[in-house]
Amino acid sequence: MNRRKALGMSAAGFAAGVLAACGGSADANIGTAAKPTIVMVHGAWHWGGCFLKVANLLAALGYPVILPDLKSHGYSDATYDQVVDMADYTASVSAILQAAPNPVVLLGHSLGGATLTYLGELYPSKIRKLIYLTAFMTPTGKSANDYIFSASYSGDPAAASLFQLLSATSDGKGVALDVTKPALIKDAFYGDCSAHDIAIASANIIPINSAVPGGQVSAITAKNFGSIPRVFIECLNDHAIPITQQRRMQGDVPGASVLTLSTSHSSFFSQPQQLANAVVQAIGN
């Protein structure tokens, strides 16, 4: 199945669907003070539509939801080696923030946390809350790679499967995921997910992620990024970002409220109702 023809909508198309369900139109100003727009940013190798189960639940509660694809993912026609820099990689999300009439809730999963940190510094007035879903939340001077290649991360038994799947591309511009090892893929990313959900994920993930977001060095300030309320939703049984590393980042970038789910890395597949409840709670915090 072609990943661009599989299940799921993203960005403006999904927002329009949510607005129709809520009695609005695609031309309406999305988001209100009571029900802010939620922009959900996927992680490495994934696509915006991976959040569809959770987005439907949030939409039923009246929240407009947007599921953009980062450059080279999902419906994007670009390839990993065409990503120039972080601004280029995150342009789809930047466009949403720039056009938003009201501050949005920005949620990022896994390496999507790098997008949150980057855009949080650039657009603090456009973001009502940052929600890191078992995501990389890095302090000034550090990148996601600084954590991934640290001894405590690479040596964590919980992450053993992950490190058997990763390799750098020969051009140095990408990180390849070995999709020929389904048992390791399941353990690292989808430990508590159904075979059906894993099949959908397998049809939609890209084999090579741009190296840009992993190498993006955080340059956050108290004035900009630090002015945005943050929530970190930790996942206790995550084998891609083990709980030890999630809590390490919580300590390195203090100030986030913490919610806990007893799920694998991909709670949006395995426990969408629990995750939707957590997102609503996070928005209210």
Cite the active site residues: 238, 265
Crossing angle (nearest 10°) for helices 195-204 and 182-189:
100
Distance CA 214, CA 146 (A): 9
Residue 37 token pair: 């727009």
Residue 247 token pair: 């809590």
Distance CA 32, CA 132 (A): 22
Distance CA 131, CA 139 (A): 16
Q: Residue 226 is which amino acid? A: G
Beta-carbon contacts of 219 under 8 Å, excluding residues fewer than 6 positions away, are 121, 140, 141
Distance CA 141, CA 87 (A): 18
